[in-house]
Amino acid sequence: MAIFFTLSGFLITNFLLNNSSVVDFLIRRIFRVVPLAWLYMLIALPVMNSTPDFYITNFLFVANWPPMWLGSVNGHLWSLCMEVQFYFAIALLVVLMRNKWVMLIPCLCIAVTMYRVMNDVHVAINTYYRIDEILSGCILALIYNNRLGNILAKLPTQTAITQIFLFLLFVLSCHPDAGFMNYFRPYLAAAMVGSTLLNSRTRVAVLLNNRILFYIATISYALYVVHPMLIHTWLGSGDTVIKYLKRPLLFAAIFITAHISTFYYEKWWIAFGKRFAKKVASQSVTSVG
0.75 cut: is pTM over it? yes
- Confidence tier at 104 by pLDDT (50, 70, 90): very high
Q: Is the pLDDT of residue 198 over 90?
A: no
Helices (H), the chain: 2-18, 22-47, 52-59, 78-97, 101-118, 127-130, 132-144, 160-173, 185-198, 203-208, 211-218, 220-231, 240-260, 267-288
CA distance 136 to 105: 9
Percent with pLDDT over 70 in the chain: 91
Query: How far apart, in whole angstroms, are the C-alpha atoms of residue 187 and residue 35?
Result: 32
Please state, as a whole number, how many other Cβ atoms lie within 10 Å of the Cβ of residue 145.
14
Residue 228 CA to residue 216 CA, distance in Å, equals 17
Q: Does the pLDDT value for residue 287 go beyond 60? A: no
Does pLDDT of 34 surpass 90?
Answer: yes
Nearest to 169 by CA among 140, 189, 197, 155: 189
Helices 2-18 and 22-47, axial angle in degrees (round to 10): 150
